[in-house]
Amino acid sequence: MDKDRFLTLFLKHERELAGIARAALPDWNAVDDVIQEASLVMWRKIDQLQADDEFIPWARMILRFEVLKYRRSCSRDRLLLDDDLVSLIAVESKDDPAEFVQQQRSAVRECLKRFSPDHQRLLLAPYTRDDAVKEIAEAAGKTANSLYKRLGRLRSKLHDCVRLQVGAAT
């Protein structure tokens, strides 16, 4: 593929790629960084691209690897989605990534309402501070390990609820 055609395709689909990246990254600055890195990789691998209709799957694959690379570099940040959810978003966001993300957010909000305030607090604790679960355990007179086990069960229930909500919306 020639460079002019690549640039045309990239510019045409840049917003779509940014939407996909935003679904997996914490903010727009990270999206900009990842899109820039992905575009450099694409530019270097331009010879792999043969036809216009191959651009989106090819670009998504490169973008996915760049997102994962960025996430590994920020792995200590607990506000990032886990890699399984990022993969799920990448697979299921084929039509309209912005709509899919909105459906996910709405489903999470609705499903969280079904949990007691204590369970909501526990579900959200790991995303606030590193030691939040430990503090909750100490305040409740329980071990952190027991709360992490409960957290795992609650996350599983939340995951099931979100899948049902998103499935019902499609």
Q: Which of 92, 114, 115 is nearest to 169 (CA)?
A: 92
pLDDT tens readout for residues 104-136: 888 888 999 999 999 998 888 887 777 788 888
Grouping H, G, I as helix, E, B as strand and the rest as coil, residue 123 is helix
pLDDT of residue 78: 53
Domain range summary for the chain, segments of one domain joined by + = 1-93, 95-170
Does CATH number 3.30.2010 belong to domain 95-170? Answer: no
Q: How many other C-beta atoms are found inside a 10 Å radius of the C-beta of residue 59?
A: 23
pLDDT at 170 over 60: no
pLDDT score, position 119: 92
Q: How far apart are CA 79 and CA 59, in angstroms?
A: 26
Class of the CATH-defined domain 1-93:
mainly alpha
Tokens of 100: 């899919």
